Amino acid sequence: MQKKLGRNTVVLLGIGHTNAHVLRKWKMKPLENAELVCVSNFPTSTYSGMLPGVLSGQYPPEEMEIDLVRLCASAGVRLILDEVVGVDPVEQQLLFRNRPSLAYDALSIGVGSVPTFGDVEIADDNPLISVKPMQTFLSRLRDRLEAFGEDRNPRVAVVGGGIGSIEIALCLDQRMKTNPSSLGLGSGKQCEICLITGGDRVGAGLLESTRDKIESHFQRRGINAIAGSRVAEVTPSGLILKNGATQAADIVIWATSAVAPPILKALSLESDERGFVLTKSTLQSLSSDQIFAVGDSGTIQNQGLVKAGVYAVRQGPFLWDNIRRLLENRKPVSYVPQTGFLKLINTADGHAIGEYKNRSFQGRWCWALKNRIDLKFMKMYQDYSPMEMGGAEASADSEELMRCLGCGGKIGSKLLGEVLKELEVPTHEDVIIGLENPDDAAVIRTHGDQVTVTTDFFASPMDDPYLVGQIALLNSASDCCVMGAQPTSALAIVQLPLGHPRAQLQVMRELMAGSVAELKKMNATIVGGHSIEGPRLTAGFTVLGRQLTDPKTKGMLKEGDLLVSTKPLGTGVLLAALMQGMLPGRSYLPLVNTMLLSNYIAIRLIQDYQISAITDVTGFGMAGHLAEMLKASGKSATIRMDQVRLLPGCQTLIDAGIESTLAPDNRLVSDKVQFIGDVASPANAALFDPQTSGGLLFGIAETRLAEVMGFLGDEGFGETCVVGEVTPNPAGTSALTVIH
């Protein structure tokens, strides 16, 4: 979204129960003159209160997830999915493993906790599944159950004894008794479940009457509760307890009490004996007033609170208030925890057990209450509709929302072609490949050497300058590589968003770091450029290259060639969805990862694999770029849609009506070739989707195919596929036929 960069930066590390509140409040009313950046290790955040209900099958997985990609996009907030390795409280910088540091004025750490293993010995080939990270818990459990090949029921030991482990045992039991195959277990099997706790009975910290109720549920359902001894060893075949007893187990679910995740140790802030960051009652770290530690990650000095989601949730409004107070130089307020809270345990059979203060209860109404509380809580975080704005700003911005950026912001090929036709572009003896026979890049002669030159830029559809720097560079350099030229140097063209110079500096630093990181991988360098400020981040590069070999120009396709595409299609659709807050979190990393795959390998393809002709698929979509090749080669082609790979979620978004603003223009491919197929069909839409840092498209003889596929697979292009073949052109007009 178009906005001015603010002076201050608020960074949320880990979007758990407390930090999510700040994100939600920001979406409702962002702080003036400030930026919010969310840093997470997953594109979704999981609500632990509903994890057992998802395990039992009472809810679909999406119900317990906050989609951070969608929430951040809809709030106009930057999301970084990357690994944090430290913090510099003096310089106020958050440090990453793979990208430049991020300056903050307020940092809130809410990365939760992990179950403790203490002094437990763990064999290499062990059956452990930790409940954290919760985002992957169910898929890891499913993998184990699917892989269980023995002719008996799998034995599952849940280690813990607190509310979380009790719910996991009960909810897994219910799922296994009602629908085991839906969690990957072979038909006719169930799990034999036991719960192991070091306490005297299950339910440490709960009222005795509540523990009675839990035990009676366990007995009735055949869940064996083994109390009184901690686990000493996890072996390949199960557990050895400290009292010497053994427990055979095929799967061990670890849900013990909380200790600090390793990242907290790396931050080197003053901490308690379990590694959690020590804070004042204002939630500010003892080491720095600019750093807050919240939820499980923080321990308020001298308060002795247990680690529980309810405290994390209640801290949200205090954190939001204190961040604002910090930025406004006002005195922070103290968080005052509630003295007790309602505990509700999902037994997964339509009932729940509960306790409040000194009373214990159970029944269907308890489950109804828990269900209502949990759904209401999650609803607050699952509103992904775009942030509301008023007046003129709103209409300007909604219009802006409609225009696609990235290569989807490219001007249509027709417009460009018409302008060039009108101009009498002079010829020059040193132009070897120019506008007379346009290709991916121009080749000119200087002092007798051939130099390849290309330029490209786009308005950024993403909020992360480091990624934008990487992608813009790869996108520009690709044109050079597909001409068989080694990139040597680049000039940057940057438009920085308007705003505070300090924030502009941070954007520029990250953008250039991203592009230089990619240039280094190509053994090239940056030699200059030009930057201005304007309404939004726009970045691109002019790349110069040394021609290493004769180019495999677009016009060199041969009859019978197989057409090979190295990346899945759909970046235009997914980026359009991202800008509208519609891109599901699970599609985000595949999108980013495909754009970050470097087309530098085109040089090797040209030099070593005898390909016929090659191009990269960018703004005009696969159909448009293939049409250019066919026209220049005087050939036709067939595309088999069932062979064309799409990014995850792409077809669903197309079917929901999402497309790039350039797609309609790209459908005018019939200006270039005869298109035999339904241009308007959603089933063909991906062919017209403009790609940002798209894949390579090349022709190769069938005899060379296996070799080239092996090479591309080794280089990380595992999605490479044959999409069609080149056919003769007896009618004299090139045709592109799409087959389903």
Q: Kindly list the catalytic residues.
A: 407
Could you tell me the two tokens for 271?
A: 């901490």
* Count of residues interacting with ligand FAD (CB under 6 A): 36
* Site for ligand FAD contains 296 (CB under 6 A): yes
Q: Cα separation of 140 and 143, whole Å?
A: 5
Query: To the nearest whole angstrom, how small is the minimum distance from the Cβ of residue 705 to ligand FAD?
Result: 42
CA pseudo-torsion sign 231, 233, 238, 243: negative
Q: Cα separation of 279 and 290, whole Å?
A: 12
Residues 150-179 that bind ligand FAD (CB under 6 A): 163-164, 167-168
Query: To the nearest whole angstrom, how small is the minimum distance from the Cβ of residue 347 to ligand FAD?
Result: 13
Q: Which residues contact 61 (CB under 8 A, 6 or more apart)?
A: 54, 138
Interface residue with ligand FAD, options 56, 101, 297, 580 (CB under 6 A): 297
Provide the 8-state DSSP code for 5: B
Which of the stretches 106-114, 120-128, 273-281, 355-363 binds ligand FAD when contact is defined by CB under 6 A?
Answer: 106-114
Q: Which residues contact 160 (CB under 8 A, 6 or more apart)?
A: 115, 166, 168, 195, 196, 197, 254, 255, 256, 257
Residues 710-729 that bind ligand FAD (CB under 6 A): none
Residue among 41 and 652 whose Cβ is closer to ligand FAD: 41
* Site for ligand FAD contains 295 (CB under 6 A): yes
Interface residue with ligand FAD, options 6, 30, 43, 49 (CB under 6 A): 49
Residue among 276 and 600 whose Cβ is closer to ligand FAD: 276
Residue among 296 and 561 whose Cβ is closer to ligand FAD: 296
Query: To the nearest whole angstrom, how small is the minimum distance from the Cβ of residue 123 to ligand FAD?
Result: 24
Q: Which residues contact 157 (CB under 8 A, 6 or more apart)?
A: 193, 194, 195, 196, 238, 239, 247, 249, 251, 252, 253
Task: Classify 251 as helix, strand or coil.
Answer: strand
| 3-state helix, strand and coil shares in percent for the chain, rounded to the nearest 5 | 35, 25, 35
Residue among 261 and 585 whose Cβ is closer to ligand FAD: 261
Residue among 198 and 690 whose Cβ is closer to ligand FAD: 198
Could you tell me the two tokens for 346?
A: 């999902």
Residue among 285 and 547 whose Cβ is closer to ligand FAD: 285
Q: Where are the alpha helices (DSSP H) in 288-412?
A: 309-327, 364-381, 391-402
Q: Binding mask 115-144 vs ligand FAD (x if CB under 6 A, - otherwise)?
A: ----------------x-x-----------
Q: Residue 577's closest CA among 663, 659, 692?
A: 659
Residue 709: other Cβ atoms inside 10 A: 17
Q: Binding mask 72-91 vs ligand FAD (x if CB under 6 A, - otherwise)?
A: ------------x-------
Interface residue with ligand FAD, options 41, 136, 190, 504 (CB under 6 A): 41
Task: Classify 275 as helix, strand or coil.
Answer: coil
Interface residue with ligand FAD, options 22, 34, 38, 48 (CB under 6 A): 48
Residue among 319 and 481 whose Cβ is closer to ligand FAD: 319
Residue among 75 and 459 whose Cβ is closer to ligand FAD: 75
Which residue is associated with the tokens 């975080």?
Answer: 381
Q: Which residues contact 123 (CB under 8 A, 6 or more apart)?
A: 233, 234, 235, 236
Could you tell me the two tokens for 154?
A: 């799998």
* Site for ligand FAD contains 17 (CB under 6 A): yes
* Site for ligand FAD contains 210 (CB under 6 A): no
Could you tell me the two tokens for 607?
A: 């030099």
Angle, helices 68-75/19-28, rounded to nearest 10 degrees: 30
Residues 595-624 that bind ligand FAD (CB under 6 A): none
Task: Classify 661 as helix, strand or coil.
Answer: coil
Residue among 49 and 461 whose Cβ is closer to ligand FAD: 49
Distance of CA 116 to the CA centre of its chain: 28
Which of the stretches 197-205, 295-303, 380-388, 508-516 binds ligand FAD when contact is defined by CB under 6 A?
Answer: 295-303
Cis peptide before 133 (omega within 30 of 0): yes
Which of the stretches 1-9, 47-55, 186-194, 437-445 binds ligand FAD when contact is defined by CB under 6 A?
Answer: 47-55
Residue among 84 and 644 whose Cβ is closer to ligand FAD: 84
* Site for ligand FAD contains 317 (CB under 6 A): no
* Site for ligand FAD contains 14 (CB under 6 A): yes
Interface residue with ligand FAD, options 16, 161, 619, 699 (CB under 6 A): 16
Which of the stretches 14-22, 548-556, 620-628, 662-670 binds ligand FAD when contact is defined by CB under 6 A?
Answer: 14-22
- Sheet arrangement for strand 93-96: 84-88, 93-96, 102-103
Which residue is associated with the tokens 């609170």?
Answer: 305
* Site for ligand FAD contains 347 (CB under 6 A): no
What are the φ and ψ backbone dihedral angles of 128, each rounded to 5 degrees? -75, 140
Residue among 353 and 654 whose Cβ is closer to ligand FAD: 353
Query: To the nearest whole angstrom, how small is the minimum distance from the Cβ of residue 183 to ligand FAD?
Result: 16
Query: To the nearest whole angstrom, how small is the minimum distance from the Cβ of residue 223 to ligand FAD?
Result: 16
Query: To the nearest whole angstrom, how small is the minimum distance from the Cβ of residue 577 to ligand FAD?
Result: 22
Which of the stretches 46-54, 89-97, 195-203, 378-386 binds ligand FAD when contact is defined by CB under 6 A?
Answer: 46-54
Q: What angle do CA 51, 54, 55 make, to 5 degrees?
A: 85
Please name every residue paired with 737 in a beta bridge, in sequence order, or none if there are none. 638, 676
Angle, helices 501-521/465-481, rounded to nearest 10 degrees: 40
Query: To the nearest whole angstrom, how small is the minimum distance from the Cβ of residue 366 to ligand FAD?
Result: 13
Q: What angle do CA 144, 148, 151 make, to 5 degrees?
A: 160
Which of the stretches 177-185, 304-312, 508-516, 636-644 binds ligand FAD when contact is defined by CB under 6 A?
Answer: 304-312
CA pseudo-torsion sign 581, 583, 589, 595: negative
Identity of the amino acid at 7: R
Interface residue with ligand FAD, options 43, 76, 110, 570 (CB under 6 A): 110
Which of the stretches 36-44, 357-365, 652-660, 699-707 binds ligand FAD when contact is defined by CB under 6 A?
Answer: 36-44
Residues 255-284 that bind ligand FAD (CB under 6 A): 255, 261, 263
Could you tell me the two tokens for 153?
A: 């029921």
Which of the stretches 13-21, 223-231, 402-410, 667-675 binds ligand FAD when contact is defined by CB under 6 A?
Answer: 13-21
Q: Cα separation of 319 and 329, whole Å?
A: 15
Q: What angle do CA 576, 578, 392 make, to 5 degrees?
A: 80
Write out the residues near ligand FAD by the rule CB under 6 A: 13-18, 39-42, 45, 48-49, 51-52, 84, 110-112, 131, 133, 163-164, 167-168, 255, 261, 263, 295-297, 307-310, 312
